[in-house]
């Protein structure tokens, strides 16, 4: 049984993760962490998740879990995740990181822990999305530079704080890489006013924020005469949570390194 602690346990994903660990036969709830000073410290994490007492009280400091836990699952915010990585390096713990919205500098800082912490870092832990990334790679390679315009459209709930989503960016990167393009050069994230016609090689992004949409992504390959759309729709956060618990079980016996969900699912090249 992999002993898991959930950081950000009071959040939308945190509460869903409590459910997912509870339902997983190979994992057990060893702890839950809330923000320092939170009034939720001491509350049973099962009650936080709405599934009744589980005998595990939320704590507001990781130090309290140093002896108890093998893998941290962290869906919080970039700075919190980076400080938790330092804790894992110091205490020999493993980490599954779902946090999105990291800057390039923050990703470089995260990467600096790859020789000291076994970690799975993925902007989207859903098995379906990771299969979709594989399909996108295949589509981009097959269509090649043959005049297909590529656009990525994503929709999420009104509370999401970063845009475009980490998943949309990852989709753009996979497509760009398959076509030998650099997303930093060819990504177009805003079109407003007299912006002129699109260029051949640009990869455009459009963002929708509305209501309670869990997460939808479409990548469009459009040319004269046809349009191919590859779409993934998440209908519940459980899909991300189940993937994260699967990643936690997988990373429990891995050496230090930075892995992603393609590694966890055996979908790598």
* Catalytic residue from among 91, 134, 141, 160: 160
* Catalytic residue from among 156, 170, 186, 232: 156
**217 counts as catalytic:** no
Q: Is 163 exposed, middle or buried (0-12, 13-18, 19+ CB in 10 A)?
A: middle
| Residue 100 makes contact with ligand NAD by CB under 6 A | yes
CA–CA separation, 219 vs 226, rounded Å? 14
Nearest by Cα to 168 from 200, 195, 133: 133
Q: What are 226's two structure tokens?
A: 């046809």
Touching ligand NAD, residues 33-72 (CB under 6 A): 33-36
Q: Is 166 annotated as a binding residue?
A: yes
Give the CB-nearest residue to ligand NAD: 11
Of 31, 46, 123, 204, the residue at the interface with ligand NAD (CB under 6 A) is: 123
| Residue 75 makes contact with ligand NAD by CB under 6 A | yes
Cβ-contact 106, 82 below 8 angstroms: yes
Q: Is 99 annotated as a binding residue?
A: yes
**159 counts as catalytic:** no
Q: Is 9 annotated as a binding residue?
A: yes
CA–CA separation, 257 vs 110, rounded Å? 11
- Say which DSSP state 163 is in: S
- Beta-strand (E) ranges in 171-261? 187-188, 203-209, 215-223, 226-234, 257-259
Question: Which residue lies nearer to ligand NAD by CB, 13 or 169?
Answer: 13
CB of 150 to ligand NAD, least distance (A): 23
Residues with active-site annotation = 156, 160
The contact set with ligand NAD (CB under 6 A) reads 7-8, 10-14, 33-36, 75-77, 80, 98-101, 122-125, 240
Annotated binding site: 8-13, 54, 98-100, 122-125, 157, 166-167
């Amino acid at each position: 049984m992999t002993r898991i602690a959930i950081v950000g346990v009071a959040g939308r994903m945190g509460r869903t993760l409590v459910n997912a660990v509870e339902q997983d036969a190979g994992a057990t709830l060893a702890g839950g962490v809330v923000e320092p000073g939170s009034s939720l410290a001491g509350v049973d994490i099962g009650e936080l998740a709405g599934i009744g007492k589980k005998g595990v009280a939320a704590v507001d400091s990781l130090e309290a879990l140093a002896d108890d836990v093998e893998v941290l699952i962290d869906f919080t915010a970039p700075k919190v995740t980076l400080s938790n990585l330092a804790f894992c390096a110091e205490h020999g713990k493993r980490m599954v990181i779902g946090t999105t919205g990291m800057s390039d500098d923050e990703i470089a800082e995260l990467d600096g822990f790859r020789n000291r912490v076994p970690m799975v870092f993925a902007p989207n832990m859903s098995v379906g999305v990771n299969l979709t990334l594989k399909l996108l790679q295949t589509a981009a390679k097959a269509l090649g530079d043959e005049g297909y315009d590529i656009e990525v459209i994503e929709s999420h709930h009104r509370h999401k704080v970063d845009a475009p989503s980490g998943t949309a960016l990852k989709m753009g990167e996979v497509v760009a890489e398959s076509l030998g393009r650099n997303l930093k050069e060819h990504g177009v994230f805003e079109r407003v006013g007299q912006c002129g016609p699109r260029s051949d090689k640009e990869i455009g992004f459009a963002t929708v924020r509305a209501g309670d949409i869990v997460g939808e992504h479409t990548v469009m390959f459009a040319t004269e005469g046809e349009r191919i759309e590859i779409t993934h729709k998440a209908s519940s956060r459980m899909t991300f949570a189940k993937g994260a618990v699967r990643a936690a079980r997988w990373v429990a016996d891995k050496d230090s390194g930075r892995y992603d969900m393609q590694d966890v699912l055996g979908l790598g090249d």
